[in-house]
Amino acid sequence: MSFLTRRQHMGIAALLMGGSVFLSRFMGLFRDKVISYTHGASVESDIYFAAFVIPDFINYLLAGGYFSVTLIPLLSACFAKDEEDGWKFFSAVFWWVVIAIALVSLIAFVKAAAFARIAAPGFDAHASARLALFMRIILPAQVCFLPGACLTAMLYLRKQFTVPALTPLIYNGCIILAGLAFARFFERPGMEGFCWGVLIGAFLGSFVLPLCAVCEGGLHLRFTLYHPLLKKLLWLALPLALGQSLVALDEQFNRVFGSMVGAGAVSMLNYARRLMLVPVGVVAQAAGVASFPFLAELMARKDYIRFDETLQNALRNVLSVLIPLSAWMILGAAPLVRLIYQQGDFSVSNALETGALLQLMLLSVAFWGIQQMLGRAFYARQNTLTPALVGTVATLFMLPLYWLLSRKYGAAGVAMTGAAGVAAYAFLLGWRWRSRYGQGALAGMGAHFCKALACTAPALCVSAPVMLGVEKWLDATPLVGSFCTLAVGGIVFALIYLPVAGKFAPSLLAPLSGRVPGRLGRRFFP
**pLDDT tens per residue across span 468-497:** 888 888 775 677 888 899 999 999 999 999
pLDDT of 162 strictly over 70? yes
The span from the CA of 99 to the CA of 105, in Å, is 10
Per-residue model confidence (pLDDT) at position 339: 86
**CB distance 411 to 261 below 8 Å:** yes
- pLDDT of 66 reads 58
CA–CA gap between residue 86 and residue 64 (Å, rounded): 21
From the list 362, 354, 279, 328, the residue with the least C-alpha distance to 35 is 354
Per-residue pLDDT at 394 exceeds 90: no
Write the CA distances from 265 to 119, 262, 426, integer angstroms: 14, 6, 27
Q: Is the pLDDT reported for residue 8 higher than 60?
A: no
Task: Count the Cβ atoms, other than its own, within 10 Å of residue 400.
Answer: 10
More confident residue, 118 or 388: 118
Q: Across 131-235, where does the E strand assignment appear?
A: none
pLDDT above 70 covers what percent of the chain? 87
Is the pLDDT at 524 greater than 50, yes or no? no
CA atoms within 13 A on the CB side of 332: 28
Lowest mean pLDDT among 31-35, 110-114, 173-177, 246-250: 246-250
pLDDT, tens digit (0-9, with 9 covering 90-100), for 302-354: 888 888 888 888 889 889 999 999 999 999 998 999 888 887 778 888 888 99
Ramachandran angles phi, psi of 42, nearest 5°: -125, 175
pLDDT, residue 187, reads 62
How many Cβ atoms sit within 10 Å of the Cβ of residue 523? 12
Please give the mean pLDDT across all residues of the chain. 83
Task: Label residue 28 exposed, middle or buried (CB < 10 Å: 0-12, 13-18, 19+).
Answer: buried
Query: How far is residue 497's CA from residue 476's CA, in Å, rounded to a whole number?
Result: 30
Give the whole-angstrom CA distance, residue 295 versus residue 383.
13
Local structure of residue 6 (DSSP, 8 states): -
Res 249: pLDDT: 74
Is the pTM value of this prediction over 0.85? no
Q: Which amino acid is it at 135? A: M
Least confident segment among 37-46, 60-69, 92-101, 256-265: 60-69
Separation of CA 163 from chain center = 18
* Mean pLDDT score, 458-466: 92
Residue 225's pLDDT is 87
Under 8 Å between Cβ of 144 and 203:
yes
Q: Domain residue spans in the chain?
A: 3-443, 446-526
**Which of 459, 463, 485 is closest to 472 using CA atoms?**
485
Most confident of 32-41, 147-156, 487-496: 487-496
Q: Across residues 52-59, what is the average pLDDT?
A: 84
**244 pLDDT tier (thresholds 50, 70, 90):** low
- Look at phi and psi of residue 157 and say left if phi exceeds 0, alpha if psi is from -120 to 50, else beta: alpha
More confident residue, 57 or 523: 57
Closest CA to 327 of 217, 222, 452: 452
